Amino acid sequence: MSSPSIHASPPADSDADDSAERYQRAYASALRLLARREHSVLELRHKLTARSVDAALIERVLVELLDSNLLSDARFTEVYVRGRFERGYGPARIRAELRERGIGDELVQPALEALADDWIASAVRQHSKRFGGGCPDDYRERARQMRFLQQRGFSGEQIRAVLATAGDR
């Protein structure tokens, strides 16, 4: 007499259940990331990839999040620009950082222009915070202060405006 087979084949819909479960885990992971802070599509794709989520699954999750407006590059750009502005960074640095995060100029430019009247005031605050209110005494000190503001992302025009008014403060 032969014994019954131990290796029975799994039910046909277990693959569908497994796929749905993997999708739900990927979607939940994406939601947890978005609950902490806004992300760009590129950032979220990288983070899900780092969590070993299948590429096709990532695309499905991203499409659903975009369709439900839980993920938005435009909203991410506005929040990011405002946050970096408040931390004292200039438009050139913010633009470069957003480019690294997959945000195109069509979203970056309007967000930066919304703060156009405030960039020089921000540069003045950063200069005063770092160097006090005084005017640089010599060329080396002036160059050092200019490099500082340039590394923060301020334009040459903005830097010249700050240093022109440095003695007035």
Question: Is 3 a member of any domain?
Answer: no
Domain holding 152, by residue range, is: 118-168
Q: pTM higher than 0.75 for the full model?
A: yes
Give the largest CA-CA distance in the chain. Answer: 103
| pLDDT < 70: residue spans in the chain | 1-15, 167-169
Structure tokens at 45: 């794709």
What per-residue confidence (pLDDT) applies to 166?
74
CB 82 within 8 A of CB 72: no
What per-residue confidence (pLDDT) applies to 123?
95
What per-residue confidence (pLDDT) applies to 14?
64
What per-residue confidence (pLDDT) applies to 167?
60
What per-residue confidence (pLDDT) applies to 13?
57
- Exposure string of 77-103, with b = 16+ CB inside 10 Å and e = fewer, is bbebbeebbeebbbbbbbbebbeebeb
Question: Is 8 a member of any domain?
Answer: no
Provide the CA 48 distance to its chain's centre, in angstroms: 15
Total tally of structural domains belonging to the chain? 3
What per-residue confidence (pLDDT) applies to 49?
96
What per-residue confidence (pLDDT) applies to 34?
97
CATH of the domain at 107: 1.10.10
